Amino acid sequence: MGRIAGVTAAETRERLLRAAADVFAARGYDGTRVADIAAAAGVSNGALYAHFGSKAELLVAALRAHGPSLLADLLAAEPGLSVTELLVAIGRRLPRRRETRGYLIVEALVAARRDEDVARPMRDYIDERSGWLAGLVRVAQAGGELDPALAPGAFAHFCLLLAMGSALVTPDLHSVDDAEWNALLARVVAALIPPEDTTAQSGAPQ
Sketch the domain layout of the chain as residue ranges.
9-62, 67-202
pLDDT digits (tens, 9 = 90+) for 87-146: 898 899 899 888 888 889 999 999 999 999 999 999 999 999 999 999 999 999 999 999
Residue 199 has pLDDT above 50, yes or no: no
Alpha helices in 30-115 (DSSP H): 34-41, 45-51, 55-66, 70-77, 83-93, 104-114
User: Would you state the CATH architecture of domain 9-62?
Assistant: Orthogonal Bundle (1.10)
pTM exceeds 0.85: no
H or E segment and range at residue 137: helix 116-142
Residue 178 has pLDDT above 50, yes or no: yes
CA atoms of 59 and 122, how far apart (whole Å) = 9
pLDDT at 197: 52
Stretch 56-63: mean pLDDT: 94
Instruction: State the pLDDT confidence band at 6, using cuts at 50, 70 and 90.
Output: low
CATH superfamily for 67-202 is: Tetracycline Repressor, domain 2 (1.10.357.10)
pLDDT at 71: 67
Instruction: State the pLDDT confidence band at 5, using cuts at 50, 70 and 90.
Output: low
Instruction: State the pLDDT confidence band at 200, using cuts at 50, 70 and 90.
Output: very low
pLDDT at 205: 40
Residue 188 has pLDDT above 80, yes or no: yes
Kindly report the average pLDDT of the chain as a whole number.
87
pLDDT at 81: 85
CA atoms of 53 and 39, how far apart (whole Å) = 17
